[in-house]
Amino acid sequence: MILAARYIAPVESPVIENGAIRFRDATVVAVGPSKEFDVGDEERVDFGNAVITPGFVNAHTHLELTHLAERVAPSPDFTGWLTRLVKTSSESLPTKESVQRIVTDGIFQSHRAGVTTVGDITRFPAWTRQALSNSMMRAVSFGEVIAVGTRRHLLQERLAAAMKTEFESELLRCGVSPHAPYTVEPNALRECARRSVEQLTPLCIHGAETLEESEFTCEGTGVFADYLRSLGVWDDDIPIAGLAPIPLFEASGLLTDRTVLAHANYVCDDDIHCIGENRASVAYCPRTHDAFEHPPHRFRDMLDAGVNVCIGTDSLASNPSLSILDELRFLHQMFPDFNSQQLLEMGTVSGAKALGLQDRVGSLAVGKDADLAVIPMESKGDWHEMFSSATEPIAVLSRGSFVVDNR
């Protein structure tokens, strides 16, 4: 099959005007100028005034919170928001059916937005992975580990669930997510890191998300200590790490080239250097970052330091959509001088690298899987005007099959 459009943005090679892409089964076999394509009896679809991009990679999300859209408004009071989140999500007891219904809705919304790969965190790995495996969504599914205070005994049980590979497939890879430095004690962070290294498993952790996090890891005090008390999980045996989050992660062996560090909103120069040295990736969540009114994110300093910065939406509990294209458009609006090519990289190949999937997806190149999105243009302008328009993908393909087809 051949898809043609006014622009092809392969990401790892220059944008092609009047381009086409050919794939057989799931795999891309040619990308280039349309006129070089000899059609024969092959099916050919010409999308006209549109840009064909790789499928977008949402490097950080929680599909199982999709039902919380507009129910827990984010505010600068982060632990207040977390408390409301926990309360709202436990209003009804999660069941296999309810979780799978919610995750499936999240997959549907993601596909519609052109997202073909997710780094997804789940508290219910078996249920979520079954739902993912029934879809065409490519995923690294991070099983969440919480092990603090009266819940520290959950470590091995949660780790075992996270590491279980029963639903692994061509599209689904399992990973582990120690939740955050205030919900996982230092020895448990080390254990998650050790298991991840031992089994070459991807790892994701929320880190340096708020300023107060550092007070907790350094002193064991502040709003996160109050938060743990309010949940009834506090006990006096909770150890104090005595380090700020990024040094704590490094000392725990958590920063490797298989690590996605979600947020990293509060980092100093040394932290950025440390993340880069250890080749960990940062998942910046622009609209969630904005909703919590954090100071400007240092993603450009990170990029300058050679850090792999990718983009996440986080969940619908803090973000208006599961669209990476919406995140990129938001960034374009905030930073009009920022290079469009680099912007597209952050939403595609950088996410693929962060999730260890760069050999398969993230760019349009021969040998990679045919995961792609077709974005209609509003004007006859240059390809990067896709970032200043508001169009939805007209078609989305995962491994060469249409998952969205609004032709």
Burial of 220 (0-12, 13-18, 19+ CB in 10 A): middle
User: Shortest approach of Zn ion to residue 337 CB, angstroms?
Assistant: 29
User: Shortest approach of Zn ion to residue 18 CB, angstroms?
Assistant: 40
User: Shortest approach of Zn ion to residue 389 CB, angstroms?
Assistant: 28
User: Shortest approach of Zn ion to residue 318 CB, angstroms?
Assistant: 8
- Identify which of residues 65 and 193 has a Cβ nearer to Zn ion in the complex: 65
CB atoms within 10 A of CB 189: 23
User: Shortest approach of Zn ion to residue 182 CB, angstroms?
Assistant: 14
- Identify which of residues 314 and 371 has a Cβ nearer to Zn ion in the complex: 314
User: Shortest approach of Zn ion to residue 97 CB, angstroms?
Assistant: 24
Residue 142 near residue 181, CB atoms below 8 Å: no
CA distance 297 to 379: 31
- Identify which of residues 16 and 317 has a Cβ nearer to Zn ion in the complex: 317
- Identify which of residues 314 and 345 has a Cβ nearer to Zn ion in the complex: 314
User: Shortest approach of Zn ion to residue 82 CB, angstroms?
Assistant: 11
User: Shortest approach of Zn ion to residue 358 CB, angstroms?
Assistant: 22
- Identify which of residues 37 and 81 has a Cβ nearer to Zn ion in the complex: 81
User: Shortest approach of Zn ion to residue 236 CB, angstroms?
Assistant: 29
Distances (CA, A) of 123 to 94, 127, 160, 176, 236: 10, 9, 12, 11, 26
Residue 58 near residue 117, CB atoms below 8 Å: yes
- Identify which of residues 285 and 344 has a Cβ nearer to Zn ion in the complex: 285
Size of the site for Zn ion (CB under 5 A): 1
Structure tokens at 321: 């959509």
- Identify which of residues 47 and 299 has a Cβ nearer to Zn ion in the complex: 299
Binding mask 259-298 for Zn ion (x = CB under 5 A): ----------------------------------------
CA distance 182 to 206: 10
Q: Which of residues 291-350 bind Zn ion (CB under 5 A)?
A: 314
- Identify which of residues 88 and 388 has a Cβ nearer to Zn ion in the complex: 88
Q: Which residues of 108-137 are buried (b: 16+ CB within 10 A; e: fewer)?
A: bbbbbbbbbbbbbbbbbbebbbbbbbebbb
Name the closest residue to Zn ion (Cβ).
Answer: 314
- Identify which of residues 53 and 265 has a Cβ nearer to Zn ion in the complex: 265
- Identify which of residues 21 and 203 has a Cβ nearer to Zn ion in the complex: 203
Residue 265 near residue 210, CB atoms below 8 Å: yes
279 φψ region: left (φ > 0), alpha (ψ -120 to 50), beta (else): left
- Angle 344-345-348 from CA coordinates, rounded to 5°: 85
User: Shortest approach of Zn ion to residue 239 CB, angstroms?
Assistant: 24
Q: Which of residues 154-193 bind Zn ion (CB under 5 A)?
A: none
Q: Which residue ranges make up the site for Zn ion (CB under 5 A)?
A: 314
